[in-house]
């Protein structure tokens, strides 16, 4: 045991570099996935890897953690099989794959890994087999037998009809004149092939998939005496054109070609880099309403945003996509690129009609639907496709929808469809004005709004912004979804119709017959000036019903005592504006009287001090009013709370007495103090 401990200590010391860092290079994503497959397969013996096979296909993948638990590839169910990890083989009668494959030359190794067809075509050439069997150091990306059989007949015929030129060149293009293992295959790099020094594109993705000209590595790092063999799932061919050149020669990109030229993006698409172009076909452009398409084509900024939304910042081969992932575009937006079976999807839609057209600076996928970003849309288009379509219909009925389709810099505060579940309002002059007050004269972004900010509307009102811990509100309405920023306007999705303030708190109370007794009480208490002047108040306003529910003698006593009346009324006034959308579960709001009010919200019912509120969010220029059917009592006036305070005082006295008692045992001089405390407790 002591020897084992020393050996483990030595192994740890050798694996740790300076300052406690692990020695040696970090594992590549491919190696990490292979390691995970080994871990999942180890119960079946040494050097066994778990492999996921897509049901109904011959596609196999080493498994990563996410795929292992989901048991799906591109939404298709998989079955787990256990195979020898690369470089190992079974031994009859032994568990797992304990034996390393014997090293042989490149030619023989291809046969071992499942590329016998490549061997066959190598034999047909006069020069290549001796080279593969001879001295040197090479890498060959060997197509699988299935890859050769899936080649179009005309392509295969052209290769085998001229074996010492076409076939030899094709095979040499799969070779590199040095040994290259997967840990050297970096994302976005190029390797120089043995055919006219033509480049081979390498992409090594975070999910562990490695592609060579968009062909996936099936079995990698099979060592040979004179190099290494990587098995791939396609026969690859040379790449000669950049993305722009492919656009120029493809008939199906006529409209795209004109759009790229008008936007000036041709310099990007013919320059250096590794991009993915989701190239809309002519058919994709034809699906867009002519008015919309002409507007975008005639607006250089919108056109550039449109095209940038079709260009991903990195090359993404179809074979690398086994689940959904977010990809950033040149325009800064993100697209959800995924797959469903053999089909690629964009934002959940199977719109890609032709994939993996390789260019020297990336890859092209043909799409048959235009991906119009929000930044190229009008406010009307944004609202029509959001959960605020009812608000758009109301605007159209009112004849105000032109504000959303023009070039005005606006922010539309659009109520959710659910706001109108009980019916849409009648369109009259007052409603038209209210709708105009839902349009702010500026293109805003909610992340830059601040508490106390005022916003000017087309209806002539100034709306206030309230920022709370978990919500952002404009007057009584709070933002319910992320902004949608269009070409000229921004869409804010709101949780209710706005009710702009119509006067001060006192104006609101005087204008509502429910509060006539409260108004009289405020006048008696001398609080009218406070509620008429500028300020930020939340008023929990007892209705006449609330006052009438009090015992008559108690009500008369309260109204006759100006000091007590003022104290209670101030307790109903919070010293900040709190609209119902900003409450959350519970807020403790300081009152003008000094004590705090407990305001809560549960199941869309707002309560104050556990008393339900009859009506919320009656907006005033200097605050907000809540109608309540109870007169609230400050803590000092509540019998239970007075009892609690007395109990707290007694407990504190008891603690002091106990402390002095312990001290008194050590000092007789403290005894008189102890006695006085006991006397206080008796009273």
The two tokens of residue 612 are 């339900």
| Mean pLDDT for the chain overall | 89
Q: What is the pLDDT confidence band of residue 496, given thresholds at 50, 70 and 90?
A: very high
Full DSSP string of 274-305: -EEEEEE-HHHHHTS-HHHHHHHHT-HHHHHH
State the CB neighbour count (10 A cutoff) for residue 168.
Answer: 20
Full DSSP string of 450-500: -TT-EEEBTTS-EEEEEE-SS-EEETTEEB-S--EE-SSEEEEEESS----
**Do the domains 243-373 and 377-494 sit in the same CATH topology, yes or no?**
yes
Look at domain 505-628 and name its CATH class: mainly beta
Q: What is the pLDDT of residue 668?
A: 46
Which residues pair with residue 512 across a beta bridge?
A: none
Residue 4, CB-side half-sphere exposure with 13 Å CA sphere? 1
Name the CATH superfamily, with its identifier, for domain 102-232: FAS1 domain (2.30.180.10)
Q: How far apart are CA 145 and CA 115, in angstroms?
A: 5
Summarize the confidence of residues 270-284 as an average pLDDT. 95
- Chain centre to alpha carbon of residue 326: 8
Per-residue pLDDT tens digits for 361-417: 999 999 999 999 999 999 999 998 899 999 999 999 999 999 999 899 999 999 999
Domain spans of the chain, in order of start: 29-88, 102-232, 243-373, 377-494, 505-628
DSSP 503: S
Token pair 């009289």 in the structure block, residue: 520
Taking domain 377-494, whether its CATH number is 2.30.180.10 is answered by yes
Full DSSP string of 548-576: HTS-HHHHHHHHH-HHHHHHHHHHTEESS
List the strands of the sheet with 72-73, edge to edge.
Answer: 60-62, 48-54, 76-84, 72-73
Q: How far apart are CA 308 and CA 624, in angstroms?
A: 46
Summarize the confidence of residues 60-75 as an average pLDDT. 89
Q: What is the pLDDT confidence band of residue 609, given thresholds at 50, 70 and 90?
A: very high
Per-residue pLDDT tens digits for 248-257: 999 999 999 9
Q: What is the pLDDT of residue 659?
A: 53
Which residues fall within 8 angstroms of residue 587, CB to CB, at 6 or more apart?
578, 598, 599, 600
Which architecture characterizes domain 243-373 according to CATH? Answer: Roll (2.30)
């Amino acid at each position: 045991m002591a020897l084992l401990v020393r050996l483990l200590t030595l192994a740890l010391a050798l694996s740790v570099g300076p300052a406690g860092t692990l020695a040696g290079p970090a594992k590549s994503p491919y190696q990490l996935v292979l390691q995970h497959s080994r871990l999942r397969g180890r119960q079946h013996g040494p050097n066994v890897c778990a492999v996921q096979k897509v049901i109904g296909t011959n596609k196999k993948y080493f498994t990563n953690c996410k795929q292992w638990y989901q048991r799906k590839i591109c939404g298709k169910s998989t079955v787990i099989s256990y195979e020898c990890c690369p470089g190992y083989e079974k031994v009859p009668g032994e568990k797992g794959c304990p034996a390393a494959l014997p090293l042989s030359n490149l030619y023989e190794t291809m046969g071992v890994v499942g590329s016998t067809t490549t061997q066959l075509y190598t034999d047909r050439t006069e020069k290549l087999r001796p080279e593969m069997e001879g001295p040197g150091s090479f890498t060959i990306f060997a197509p699988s037998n299935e890859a050769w059989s899936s080649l179009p007949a005309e392509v295969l015929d052209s290769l085998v009809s001229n074996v010492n030129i076409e076939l030899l060149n094709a095979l040499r293009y799969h070779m590199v004149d040095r040994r290259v293992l997967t840990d050297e295959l970096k994302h976005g790099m190029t390797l120089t092939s043995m055919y006219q020094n033509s480049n081979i594109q390498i992409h090594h993705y975070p999910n562990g998939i490695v592609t060579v000209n968009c062909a996936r590595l099936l079995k990698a790092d099979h060592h040979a005496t004179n190099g290494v063999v990587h098995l791939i799932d396609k026969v690859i061919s040379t790449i000669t054109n950049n993305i722009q050149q492919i656009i120029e020669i493809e008939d199906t990109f006529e409209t795209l070609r004109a759009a790229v030229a008008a936007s000036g993006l041709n310099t990007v698409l013919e320059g250096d880099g590794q991009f993915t172009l989701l190239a809309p076909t002519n058919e994709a452009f034809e699906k867009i309403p002519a008015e919309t398409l002409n507007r975008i084509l005639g607006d250089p900024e919108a056109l550039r945003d449109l095209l940038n939304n079709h260009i991903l910042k990195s090359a993404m081969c179809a074979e690398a996509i086994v689940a959904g992932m977010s990809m950033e575009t040149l325009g800064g937006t993100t697209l959800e690129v995924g797959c469903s079976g053999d089909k690629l999807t964009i934002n959940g839609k199977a719109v890609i009609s032709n994939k993996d057209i390789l260019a020297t600076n990336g890859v092209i996928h043909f799409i048959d639907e235009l991906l119009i970003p929000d930044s190229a849309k009008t406010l009307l288009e944004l609202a029509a496709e959001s959960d605020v379509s009812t608000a758009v219909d109301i605007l159209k009925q009112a004849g105000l929808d032109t504000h959303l389709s023009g070039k005005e810099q606006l922010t539309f505060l659009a109520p959710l469809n659910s706001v109108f579940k009980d019916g849409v309002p009648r369109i009259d002059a007052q409603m038209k004005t209210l709708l105009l007050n839902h349009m702010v004269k500026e293109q805003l972004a909610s992340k830059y709004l601040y508490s106390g900010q005022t916003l000017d509307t087309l209806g002539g009102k100034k709306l206030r912004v309230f920022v709370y811990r978990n919500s952002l509100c404009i007057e009584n309405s709070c933002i319910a979804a992320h902004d949608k920023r269009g070409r000229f306007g921004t869409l804010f999705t709101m949780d209710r119709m706005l009710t702009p303030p119509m006067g001060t708190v006192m104006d609101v109370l005087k204008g509502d017959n429910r509060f006539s007794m409260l108004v009289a009480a405020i006048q008696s208490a001398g609080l009218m000036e406070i509620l008429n002047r500028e300020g930020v108040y939340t008023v929990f306003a007892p209705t006449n019903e609330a006052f009438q529910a009090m015992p008559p003698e108690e009500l008369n006593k309260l109204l006759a005592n100006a000091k007590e009346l003022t104290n209670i009324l101030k307790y109903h006034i919070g010293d900040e504006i709190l609209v119902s959308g900003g409450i959350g579960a519970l807020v403790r709001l300081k009152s003008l009287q000094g004590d705090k009010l407990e305001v809560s919200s549960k199941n869309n019912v707002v309560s104050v001090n556990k008393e339900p509120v009859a009506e919320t969010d009656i907006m005033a220029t200097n605050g907000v009013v809540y109608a309540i059917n109870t007169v609230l009592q400050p803590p000092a006036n509540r019998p239970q709370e007075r009892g609690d305070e007395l109990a707290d005082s007694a407990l504190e006295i008891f603690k002091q007495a106990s402390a002095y008692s312990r001290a008194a045992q050590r000092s007789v001089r403290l005894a008189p103090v102890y006695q006085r405390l006991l006397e206080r407790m008796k009273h």
